[in-house]
Chain A
Amino acid sequence: MLLSCENVRKTFGTTVVLDDLSLRVDEHQVVALIGASGSGKSTLLRCVNLLTDIDDGTIRLDGEDITDPRVDPDEVRQRIGMVFQSYNLFPHMTVLRNITLAPERVHRRPAAEIREQAMEWLGRVGLADKADSYPDRLSGGQQQRVAIVRSLVNSPRLLLLDEVTSALDPELVGEVLTMIRGLKDEGMTMVLATHEMGFARQVADQVVFLDGGRVLEAGPPERVLGDPTEPRTRQFLARIIEAGRL
């Protein structure tokens, strides 16, 4: 088991965002978090990456309790990659610099080796010619692919993807999803919050439906998306189908 969340609780003021939430992710597994806005998907990912402190419970990475206050969060984050909805590339750096910054500063690897690896990755996703461009010159889909590459050059154990296609124009969604599918084939362990039910069905080993900060239903995609047992899950999926997103 690579990641486990045990009875995690998170509140913002009086709002309970994560309520006694438990979740397990095995190595090479892809877990899709689905649920309405405000159901706690993004907050869960931020908690796993220690960007937000939890109020109770335990999160373990490779068996180690990473929510222990004595743990160095910077060291934990080096083992976890995260990609955001709005890409969050650094606008004052070229594409290549965006990718090489962390390996150079955090992992202290030789610059030439990092550069070579970054260029190889960019080549694989068809963006080698954009290496020296600034992010504002790229389309949303291109920016998001660069953001994914940036999170991968540290060779993370786990990749967290927070609604990575939600800000994209429909015709650009495909290129990002193709890239994620490629990562699954290479065995990358991923937890992704998504509204793309079709994609979740194709790529996820486990679909987790969050409602009000709790795991209401979890299981293989065919079952959770095809034949949900909980009425709330059915209701949610019915609305998604109505909106033409499935």
Chain B
Amino acid sequence: MAGRHWRGSRAVVTTPFHQPSEIQRGRIAYRRRQTIRSVLLAALSTGIVGVLLAVAVTGAPGWERVKQSFFSPEVAWRYLPEILDGLWLNVRLLVVCAGLALALGLLIATLRTLRGPVFFPVRALATGYTYTFRGLPLIIVIYLMAFGIPGLRLQGTPGVLVLGGAALVITYGAYLAEVFRAGIESVHPSQLAAARSLGLTYRQTMRHVVLPQAIRRVAPPLLNDTVALQKDVGLVSLAGPIDAVRAAQIGVAQDANYTPYIVAGVLFVLLALPLIGVTDWVTLRAARRQSAGS
């Protein structure tokens, strides 16, 4: 037991040395043996599965050809710089689109909570928007934006990159709006009652009490959607800009070899890893806080 002793005006906290009992030492030793056993077992089974997989793939009749046309080191090396250049475009597009989609999603979710008959058209529009763009395939939105809008021949039509990015923002904004809305609805009505009873207006209640709690609660799913957005950023290549996927496609066409796709794929995974790590960490933290009963 830790004790608190007062010496003059200074508090000194001491923890007396505790010698584990015979029975506790036995338990510790048993647990250690169990741990060693599980680690060994896990290593053994991983090794066996790995060997089996390797034998199955490399022993396949077409392995030699697949190795040549998908895993050629020279081809990979030759196109790496161009694919990396393209990836830089993906990264910039991701940062801009993620920021805009989050803002749009939050705006739409907030609009859907507005009450009063004056706001009926706003609510209806926001609801219609989320229904439409959650159902509409992203590829179709990209085609509509990148080829449809320039077809109008309006003055000052932005380039395909901006239009493709806008398609991503519009589509993901609809998903994120639903996540935000779920968060807003998860805040207990008693929090609203408390805020309103203090004289806060509905808007002040949303801004200071509901939204901060809602956003904290939905941070893990929001980040998860951002990971999904990161992959889908590659789809703007359909509209023409040379991003990583487009650069790989050009390489594939020139050499009749699929290795550039593998290179682009690996780079996308590497790019996603930090974000996935952050998502897992935030989710774990949220779960811990919930189980702590806050």
Please report A residues at the B interface, Cβ cutoff 8 Å.
46, 49, 51, 73-75, 77-78, 80-82, 84, 86, 88-92, 101-102, 105-107, 134, 136, 147, 150-151, 154
Contacts and interface: CB of A to CB of B under 8 A. Distances in A.
A88 B199 contact: no
Nearest to B188: A88
B194 interface: yes
A84 B212 CA distance: 21
B193 A77 contact: no
Given A90-B209, A136-B293, A106 B197 contact: no
B40 interface: no
B200 A82 contact: no
A91 B294 contact: yes
Contacts of B191: 88, 90
Contact of B201 (A51, A74, A101, A154): A74
A111 B191 CA distance: 23
Contacts of A91: 213, 294
Interface string B126-163: 00000000000000000000000000000000000000
13 contacts: A46-B193, A51-B197, A74-B196, A80-B197, A81-B197, A86-B190, A88-B193, A90-B194, A101-B198, A105-B200, A105-B204, A106-B199, A151-B197
Contacts of A88: 190-191, 193-194
Q: What DSSP secondary structure best describes chain B's contact surface?
A: helix
A106 B200 contact: yes
A53 B293 CA distance: 33
Chain B interface size, as a band, is 20 to 34
Interface of B: 190-191, 193-201, 204, 208-209, 212-213, 216, 292-294
Nearest to B212: A92
Contacts of B208: 90, 101, 105
Given A91-B294, A92-B213, A101-B208, A74 B194 contact: no
- The residue among B195, B199, B200 with the most chain A CB atoms within 10 A of its own CB is B199
Contacts of A150: 198
A84 B292 contact: no
B216 to A, nearest CB: 7
Contacts of B204: 105-106
Given A90-B209, A91-B294, A136-B294, A49 B198 contact: no
Contacts of A89: 194
Contacts of B216: 92
Nearest to A102: B198
Contacts of A92: 212-213, 216
Considering the complex of A and B, which 4 residue pairs feature the smallest CB-CB distances, nearest first?
A: A78-B199, A88-B194, A102-B198, A82-B197
Contacts of A81: 197
Contacts of B196: 51, 73-74, 77
A102 B200 contact: yes
Contacts of B190: 84, 86, 88
A142 to B, nearest CB: 15
A30 to B, nearest CB: 19
A16 to B, nearest CB: 22
Contacts of A154: 198-199
Nearest to B194: A88
Nearest to B213: A92
A84 B194 contact: yes
Nearest to A45: B197
Contacts of B213: 90-92
Contacts of B199: 74-75, 77-78, 102, 106-107, 154
A51 B193 contact: yes
Given A105-B204, A136-B293, A77 B194 contact: no
Contacts of B198: 77, 101-102, 106, 150-151, 154
